[in-house]
C-alpha cells in the first residue's frame, strides 16, 4: 500500500481527472480493455442470474444512448430513473451521461406524490421505470406531471399500456440499434467534460421537500479517487449493489467497482438480501447499520438461549477471532498458538457466521446513520470487516475507515482531499472537490447550506480526534432539550434500543419534556414466538402489547440497553406500537430515516399518555 505526501494529492487528483475525464468515458476505457473476456455486471430480475460481459454492457449503453438521441434528448436534459437495482439501471444512467444529459434517480419506494415532485422539479421528460408498482406509479403521472412525455419499462414481463408514450426497454434498445444516431453519439461523446453536470440526487427530505443536489463528473470522480490504494477491490472481486442506486453511497461505490474492473452484482429486493448474499458471495458491499443490528440481535439472542457449553465456546471463538483480526489490522505477526486456535475457532464458530454472507467477504462498508461500536467490534471479531464512513449527498465521502485505520465508534479518518473543521456550535463543516454545485433551482437554500467563507454545513454534530478520526454524535436538528435544560442526543439512544432482538424501530421523545420517553416498534415475529413459549395468551397484536408481562419484559430490556447512559438520558416511559413506521405514511424517508415531526403528529395521543403531568 503506497503512501504519498499530502502536498501531492491534488496533483495526483488532477492527473486522475485527466485520465478518466468523465464517468461514461471511464466505463468505455474498461469496455475496450476487457471486451468479451470478462463479466462486468450480473443480476437476477427473472429468478435466474444473467451475466453481461464488458462488451455486452457497453453495447447496451451505446444502444440506449442512441435511443435517447432518437427521442430528442439534448445536452443537460434531465432523464429520470425510477427503479430498484438492476443492470438496466446502470445502462440508463450511463447512456444519459454518454450524450451529456443528466440522470436523475428516484427512490424505488417513492409514492406517486413524492415521484411527481421530483419529475416536475427536474423537468423530466423521459422516465425509466422498473417493476409493476413503479410502472403503475409512472403511468399515473402521465398527463398529471408537467413535462413527462415517455416511460421506458425495464421489466419485460409487464404488460404495458397500448400507447406510443410507453415502451419496453428491449424495444427501446432495438430503436437505438436501428437508428441513424451513430455519428451524433460519437459527436456528443467527443464533447464530454469532467465539469459537465452528471446527476441530480434528491435529498431524503427529513425536514421538508427533497432538494436536488447538483453533482458534476469531477465531483463523483473525486468520490472514487483512491491514491493510497486503501481499497483493494480489483478485477477478480465481486461487489453486491444492495443499497438503492438512487443513494449517493451505492451510486459512488458502483462507479468505483466498475472503475476497478470488478464484477458488479445487483440486488433488486432488499428483503431477500440473505438469499442474494448466499448466491452472489460478494467480497464487497455497501450497507446500512439496520441490517447489521438485526443480524447481531439474532445471533446474540441465539447465544443467550444456548446451553452453557455453547456460550463458552462462542465467546472463546470470538475472543480468538478478535485477537487475530487486531493483529492483521495493526500489521503484526500472529503467534503460532493463536494461529492454531484461530483455525479451530473458524471451523467451530466463526466460519459459520461468515457463511451467512457468502463466506468470501473482504470489506463491507457501512454508513447512512449512527452505528454501534459494540456491533462493529462484534463483527470485526468474527472476521467480517465493517468499515464505517461518513458523508452526505451534498459532499460524499468526508471520511472512511480502511483495513489498517479503523477505530470502533468512529467514521474513520478524514480523507486527504477533504478539509474538515468543527464550528463553535460543534457542527462538522467541510470543503473539497466532492462538494455539490448547489441545489437545483434553489439558490436561497444553496446559500443557507454554506458558511460565508465557503464551507459546507453538514448539520451534524461531531468531533475530530488528534489522529484525524471523525465521530458523529447526532444531527443538530435532532438534538433535544428537556424542560430542565439538559441536551439529549436521540439517535444514540435509538441505536442502543435497536441493538435488541425484540425491538425493530424506536423514536425517542423528550424535546421540551421533563424526561425522555420512547415509542418502540417491537420485532413482532420473535415477540409472538416468545409469548407463545411463555404461555402468555393474546387474541391480537394490540392485546399482546398491553399485557403486563410483555410490558415488564420490555421494561427490563430497555433498562439493560440503556444502562450506561446518564440519568437524564434514560428512558423513563415507553409505549409499544402495533405497527411499523412507514414511508407511505411519511414517517420514514426513502433512506429509512425517521421524520420526527411526522411521528410526533401521528402518535401525539400516545405520547401525551407518557406525560400525564404535561
Bridge-based pairing of strands 150-153 and 166-168 is parallel
Integer angstrom CA distances of residue 180 from 63, 67, 74, 320, 439: 11, 10, 16, 64, 36
Same domain, 428 and 555: no
* Euclidean distance between CA atoms 45 and 553, whole angstroms: 42
Same domain, 238 and 289: yes
* Euclidean distance between CA atoms 370 and 372, whole angstroms: 7
pLDDT for residue 69: 98
Q: Which helix (H) or strand (E) segment is 105 a member of?
A: strand 102-106
In a domain, 162, yes or no: no
* Euclidean distance between CA atoms 442 and 434, whole angstroms: 19
Angle at alpha carbon of residue 216, lines to 215 and 221, rounded to 5°: 105
Residues 447-471 have pLDDT tens digits of 999 999 999 999 999 999 999 999 9
Burial of 527-538, coded b for 16+ CB within 10 Å and e otherwise, reads beebbeeeebeb
pLDDT for residue 1: 39
* Euclidean distance between CA atoms 411 and 405, whole angstroms: 10
Q: State whether residue 108 is helix, strand or coil.
A: coil
pLDDT for residue 3: 54
Same domain, 499 and 395: no
Contact by Cβ (8 Å): 379, 296: yes
Of 75, 164, 115, 60, the residue nearest 152 (C-alpha): 164
Q: Is the dihedral of CA 92, 35, 249, 192 positive or negative?
A: negative
* Euclidean distance between CA atoms 581 and 589, whole angstroms: 10
Same domain, 298 and 331: yes
In a domain, 103, yes or no: no
Residue with the bigger pLDDT between 300 and 95: it is 95
Q: Which helix (H) or strand (E) segment is 344 a member of?
A: helix 336-345
Q: How confident is the model at residue 7 (pLDDT cuts 50, 70, 90)?
A: confident
Q: State whether residue 564 is helix, strand or coil.
A: coil
Number of H helices, E strands in the chain: 23, 25
Grid cell in block for residue 265 = 452484482
| pLDDT cut 90: percent of the chain above it | 80
Of 5, 213, 238, the residue nearest 104 (C-alpha): 213
Residues 245-265 have pLDDT tens digits of 999 999 999 999 999 999 999
Residue 614 pLDDT exceeds 80: no
In a domain, 336, yes or no: yes
Integer angstrom CA distances of residue 584 from 45, 121, 590: 24, 21, 10
The overall pTM is greater than 0.85:
yes
Residue 540 DSSP class: S
Same domain, 337 and 466: yes
Q: How confident is the model at residue 290 (pLDDT cuts 50, 70, 90)?
A: confident
CATH number at 525 reads 3.30.300.30
Residues 38-78 have pLDDT tens digits of 999 999 999 999 999 999 999 999 999 999 999 999 999 99
Grid cell in block for residue 227 = 491514491
pLDDT for residue 207: 60
Integer angstrom CA distances of residue 230 from 249, 413, 470, 523: 17, 12, 17, 38
Q: State whether residue 128 is helix, strand or coil.
A: strand
Q: State whether residue 325 is helix, strand or coil.
A: helix
CA 527 to chain centre: 28
Residues 98-157 have pLDDT tens digits of 999 999 999 999 989 999 999 999 999 999 999 999 999 999 999 899 999 999 999 999
In a domain, 200, yes or no: no
Single residue among 445, 476, 507 that ends a domain in this structure: 476
Same domain, 507 and 415: no
In a domain, 234, yes or no: yes
Q: Is the dihedral of CA 563, 500, 583, 118 positive or negative?
A: positive
Across the range 196-208, mean pLDDT stands at 84
Q: How many domains does the chain have?
A: 2
Single residue among 476, 507, 542 that ends a domain in this structure: 476
Same domain, 410 and 529: no
Integer angstrom CA distances of residue 164 from 70, 71, 76, 118: 14, 12, 25, 23
Backbone dihedral angles phi then psi of residue 594, each to the nearest 5 degrees: -80, 140
Residues 91-110 have pLDDT tens digits of 999 999 999 999 999 999 99
CATH number at 367 reads 3.40.50.12780
Same domain, 391 and 518: no
Grid cell in block for residue 53 = 460481459
In a domain, 509, yes or no: yes
pLDDT for residue 332: 94
Q: Is the dihedral of CA 465, 468, 473, 478 positive or negative?
A: positive
In a domain, 77, yes or no: no
In a domain, 184, yes or no: no
Same domain, 346 and 239: yes
Same domain, 469 and 492: no
Same domain, 489 and 420: no
* Euclidean distance between CA atoms 249 and 269, whole angstroms: 18
DSSP for 465-526, please give it: -TTSBEEEEEEGGG-EE-TTS-EE-HHHHHHHHHTSTTEEEEEEE-TTSSSEEEEEEE-HHH
Cis-peptide, bond into residue 603, ω within 30° of zero: no
Bridge-based pairing of strands 263-266 and 212-216 is unpaired
* Euclidean distance between CA atoms 223 and 225, whole angstroms: 6
Same domain, 470 and 505: no
- Which residue shows C-alpha cell 425522555? 516
Grid cell in block for residue 7 = 502536498
pLDDT for residue 161: 86
Range of the domain at 288: 225-432+454-476
Amino acid at each position: 500500500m503506497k503512501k504519498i505526501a499530502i502536498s501531492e494529492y491534488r496533483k495526483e487528483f488532477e492527473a486522475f481527472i485527466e485520465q478518466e475525464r468523465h464517468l461514461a468515458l471511464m466505463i468505455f476505457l474498461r469496455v475496450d480493455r476487457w471486451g468479451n473476456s470478462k463479466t462486468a455486471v450480473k443480476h437476477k430480475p427473472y429468478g435466474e442470474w444473467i451475466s453481461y460481459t464488458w462488451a455486452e454492457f457497453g453495447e447496451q449503453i451505446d444502444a440506449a444512448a442512441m435511443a435517447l438521441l432518437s427521442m430528442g434528448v439534448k445536452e443537460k436534459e434531465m432523464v429520470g430513473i425510477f427503479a430498484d437495482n438492476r443492470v438496466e439501471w446502470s445502462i440508463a444512467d450511463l447512456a444519459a451521461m454518454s450524450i451529456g444529459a443528466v440522470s436523475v434517480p428516484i427512490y424505488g419506494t417513492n409514492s406517486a406524490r413524492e415521484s411527481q415532485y421530483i419529475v416536475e422539479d427536474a423537468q423530466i421528460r423521459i422516465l425509466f421505470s422498473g417493476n409493476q408498482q413503479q410502472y403503475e406509479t409512472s403511468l399515473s403521472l402521465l398527463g398529471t406531471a408537467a413535462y413527462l412525455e415517455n416511460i421506458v419499462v425495464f421489466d419485460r414481463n409487464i404488460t404495458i399500456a397500448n400507447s406510443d408514450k410507453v415502451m419496453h426497454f428491449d424495444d427501446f434498445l432495438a430503436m437505438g440499434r436501428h437508428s441513424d444516431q451513430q455519428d451524433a453519439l460519437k459527436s456528443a461523446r467527443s464533447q464530454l467534460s469532467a465539469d459537465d453536470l452528471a446527476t441530480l440526487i434528491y435529498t431524503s427530505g427529513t425536514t421538508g421537500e427533497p432538494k436536488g443536489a447538483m453533482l458534476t463528473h469531477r465531483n463523483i470522480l473525486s468520490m472514487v479517487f483512491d491514491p493510497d490504494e486503501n481499497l483493494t477491490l480489483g478485477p477478480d472481486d465481486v461487489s453486491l449493489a444492495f443499497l438503492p442506486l438512487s443513494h449517493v453511497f451505492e451510486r459512488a461505490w458502483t462507479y468505483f467497482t466498475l472503475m476497478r474492473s470488478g464484477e458488479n452484482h445487483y440486488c433488486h429486493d432488499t428483503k431477500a438480501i440473505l438469499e442474494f448474499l448466499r448466491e452472489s458471495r460478494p467480497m464487497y458491499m455497501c450497507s446500512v447499520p439496520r441490517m447489521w443490528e438485526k443480524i447481531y440481535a439474532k445471533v446474540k439472542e441465539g447465544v443467550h438461549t444456548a446451553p452453557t457449553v455453547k456460550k463458552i465456546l462462542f465467546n472463546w471463538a470470538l475472543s480468538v477471532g478478535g485477537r487475530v483480526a487486531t493483529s492483521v489490522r495493526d500489521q503484526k505477526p500472529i503467534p503460532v498458538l493463536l494461529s492454531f486456535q484461530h483455525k479451530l475457532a473458524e471451523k467451530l464458530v466463526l466460519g459459520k457466521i461468515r457463511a451467512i454472507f457468502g463466506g468470501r467477504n473482504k470489506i463491507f462498508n457501512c454508513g447512512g446513520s449512527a452505528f454501534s461500536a459494540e456491533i462493529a467490534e462484534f463483527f470485526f471479531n468474527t472476521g467480517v470487516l465493517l468499515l464505517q464512513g461518513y458523508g452526505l449527498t451534498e459532499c460524499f465521502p468526508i471520511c472512511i475507515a480502511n483495513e489498517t485505520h479503523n477505530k470502533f465508534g468512529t467514521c474513520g479518518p478524514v480523507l486527504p482531499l477533504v478539509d474538515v473543521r468543527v464550528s463553535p456550535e460543534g457542527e462538522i463543516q467541510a470543503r473539497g472537490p466532492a462538494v455539490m454545485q448547489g441545489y437545483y433551482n434553489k439558490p436561497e437554500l444553496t446559500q443557507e447550506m454554506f458558511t460565508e467563507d465557503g464551507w459546507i454545513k453538514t448539520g451534524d454534530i461531531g468531533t475530530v480526534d488528534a489522529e484525524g478520526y471523525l465521530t458523529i454524535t447526532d444531527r443538530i436538528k435532532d438534538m433535544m432539550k428537556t424542560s430542565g435544560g439538559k441536551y439529549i442526543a436521540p439517535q444514540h439512544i435509538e441505536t442502543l434500543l435497536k441493538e435488541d432482538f425484540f425491538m425493530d424501530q424506536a423514536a425517542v421523545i423528550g424535546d421540551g419534556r421533563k424526561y425522555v420517553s420512547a415509542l418502540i416498534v417491537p420485532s413482532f415475529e420473535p415477540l409472538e414466538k416468545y409469548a407463545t413459549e411463555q404461555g402468555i395468551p393474546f387474541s391480537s397484536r394490540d392485546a399482546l402489547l398491553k399485557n403486563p408481562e410483555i410490558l415488564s419484559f420490555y421494561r427490563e430490556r430497555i433498562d439493560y440497553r440503556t444502562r450506561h447512559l446518564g440519568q437524564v438520558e434514560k428512558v423513563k416511559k415507553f409505549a409499544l406500537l402495533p405497527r411499523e413506521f412507514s414511508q407511505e405514511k411519511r414517517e420514514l424517508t426513502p433512506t429509512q430515516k425517521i421524520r420526527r415531526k411526522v411521528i410526533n403528529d401521528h402518535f401525539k395521543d400516545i405520547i401525551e399518555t407518557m406525560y400525564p403531568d404535561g
